[in-house]
Homo-oligomer: A and B are copies of this chain.
C-alpha cells in the first residue's frame, strides 16, 4: 500500500464512512475522535498510542494518555479501527461495512498492515473451532513477514 496508490481516497472513504455510521448509530464522532482516526489513517502502518498522543498535541494541547485511549476505545467499539495485538498498535479498518474477521498481514520491511477477508481461512477455522467445541468471541490472526511489494 505504501507503493503507488491514491491514499487520499483511502482516507476520505474511511472518514466519510465513519461519519455516516456514527450518524446512523446515534454516536458522536467528536473532533478528538475524528482527529485520532485521521492520524491513524496517515498511512497504512500500525500506529502506537503514544505516537498518536505526540501527533495530536498540536491540535489538542491538553491531550493526555487517557485522551488517546478513550478515542481508541471508541473507534474500536465502532469497528473503525483494529488493534494489532502483536504490535500494541492500531490500524484503520478497510472494510467498515462488512461484519468480518480480520486477517492481518504485517510487513516487517515497509511496516504496512494489510487486512484481508480470507473467507476460506475463516471457514476452516470455524470448522476447527466446532470440532474443538470452542465458542469464539474474538479472533486475532496476525501474520508477520514480507509483503509482495517488498519482495521484489
Contact = CB atoms under 8 A, between A and B. Distances in A.
Interface of A: 85-86, 103, 105, 107-108, 114, 116, 118, 120-121, 123-125, 127-129, 132-148, 151
Nearest to A123: B124
* Number of identical protomers: 2
B140 A146 contact: no
A133 B77 CA distance: 31
Given A85-B85, A142-B85, A142-B140, A147 B133 contact: yes
Contacts of A140: 85-86, 140-144
Contacts of A135: 145-146, 151
A9 to B, nearest CB: 21
A113 to B, nearest CB: 11
